[in-house]
Amino acid sequence: NNSASNATVSDGDDDATNATVNDVDDDDATNATVSDGGNDDAANATVSDGGNDDATNATVSDGDDDDTTNATISDRDDDDATNATVSDGDDDDDATNATVSDGDDDDATNATISDGDDDDATNATADAVDDDDATNATVSDGDDDDATNATVSDEDDDDVTNATVSDGDDDDVTNATVSDGGDDEATNATVSDGDDDDATNTTVSDGDDDDATNTTVNDGDDDDATNATINDDDATNATVSDGDDDDATNATVSDGDDDDATNATISDGDDDDATNATVSDGDDDDVTNATVSDGDDDDATNTTVKDGDDDDATNTTVSDGDDDDATNTTVSDGDDDGVTNATGRAGHDRNKPVNTDDASDQPKKTDDAGTIPVETGASRGDGDQTDDTGDNSDSVDNNVDDGGDESNDG
């Protein structure tokens, strides 16, 4: 029950290996700092390794070119690690296996792992427990960072508001996960919001009954969102690869049952590749205003929008650009679906088939009686083959009307 406020270990070019600030229970380590100088080595540094501690504004390695391997801030239960930072220095820091609040029921508000440039945050974890509050948690918020296997709130019933994984440029966010449990709230969660990022196998809220409102995977330019998945449940305004020249291979938005994918978008840029993209592949889903590849020169091979039963695909669009390739595209391939204002490849070069109705052929415009509508009265001057009665019932073999002259008013 001691008070170690403003405690500091190693304030200069020193080697503070295995340094510990306040390794007891129920202590107050406010503003505690491990390695506050330059070029220090704070391997295995720990701030508040006890139970029920208060590590407000705790910092591990606040200098330049430091090595904070296996650094831990508040590794117990019921701790308060508000504004905790691991490796908040300038360039070339190494925060491998860094952890902020690895206990239960912790509060890691504004927690940051590797907030500098050219950092390596391999296996970094911000609040990987149950019932935690990781508001504004950030993993690797610099440039040219490597956030391999980064995780923000990997348990159940967590609140990950505005969580960000790798918000810089040219980042590598392999297997990044934001809220991978059940009943989580990942509001405004972002995975790789920079340019030229690699978000391979990225997942945003891959559990049940999750709320991933305004979720974005890879919102930069020239990004690679391979096998990206947004929320198996309520993916309102979800976006996969919203930049230019993106690769959204096997991207999925709301791939479960009874999901709500309002305004879902897969690859909304130019020259995109949305191979095998799927928007809501479950049953009883509501996919309002869903769009797959809304740019130019896109490749939407085997794209499916709402392949379940009793679905509502209002204003659905598949590849609404020019010179697109929508091979084997399907809009609502189930039973009893509501496909209002659906569009399949509404651009140029429309020579490739688009399976848009139950018969897998081109859609027909029909009147109330189910027949092909034609104009009645005087024949048109546009070269159509209708007679004056508009019933398309002239002689069978000669395509002439009852007057026999094949001429019209034009």
Q: Which of 253, 263, 264, 260 is nearest to 231 (CA)?
A: 253
d(CA 291, CA 21): 53
Cβ pair 81, 108 in contact under 8 A: yes
Residue 349's CB is within 10 A of a number of other CB atoms, namely: 11
Q: Which of 302, 259, 295 is nearest to 277 (CA)?
A: 302
The proportion of the chain whose per-residue pLDDT surpasses 70, expressed as a percent, equals: 0
pLDDT at 252 (0 to 100): 63
Note down the domain range covering 394: 364-405
Question: Is residue 375 assigned to a domain?
Answer: yes
Residue pLDDT, tens place only, 361-409: 333 333 333 332 333 333 334 444 334 444 444 434 444 444 444 444 4
Question: Is residue 390 assigned to a domain?
Answer: yes
d(CA 10, CA 33): 9
pLDDT at 167 (0 to 100): 62
Overall number of domains in the chain: 1
The proportion of the chain whose per-residue pLDDT surpasses 90, expressed as a percent, equals: 0
d(CA 408, CA 410): 5
Question: Is residue 369 assigned to a domain?
Answer: yes
pLDDT at 388 (0 to 100): 42
Question: Is residue 382 assigned to a domain?
Answer: yes
Name, in order, each residue with C-beta under 8 angstroms of 275's C-beta and a sequence gap of 6 or more. 248, 249, 250, 299, 300, 301, 302
Map tokens 């027909």 to a residue. 364
Question: Is residue 96 assigned to a domain?
Answer: no
Question: Is residue 379 assigned to a domain?
Answer: yes
Question: Per-residue pLDDT for 358 more than 50?
Answer: no
C-alpha torsion sign, points 357, 362, 368, 369: negative
Question: Is residue 25 assigned to a domain?
Answer: no
d(CA 119, CA 6): 26
Average pLDDT over residues 146-167: 60
User: Which of 72-81, 163-172, 279-288 comes out lowest in average pLDDT?
Assistant: 72-81
Name, in order, each residue with C-beta under 8 angstroms of 359's C-beta and a sequence gap of 6 or more. none
Question: Per-residue pLDDT for 261 more than 60?
Answer: yes
pLDDT at 372 (0 to 100): 29
Residue pLDDT, tens place only, 195-224: 666 666 566 655 555 666 656 666 666 666
Question: Is residue 388 assigned to a domain?
Answer: yes
Render 266-319 in DSSP notation, one character per residue: E--SSS-B-TT-EE--SSS-B-TT-EE--SSS-B-TT-EE--SSS-B-TT-EE-
Q: Which of 177, 20, 166 is nearest to 95 (CA)?
A: 166
User: Which of 258-272, 297-311, 357-371, 386-400 comes out lowest in average pLDDT?
Assistant: 357-371
d(CA 313, CA 310): 10
Residue pLDDT, tens place only, 222-246: 666 665 666 556 666 566 666 566 6
Render 212-245 in DSSP notation, one character per residue: -TT-EE--SSS-B-TT-EE-SSB-TT-EE--SSS
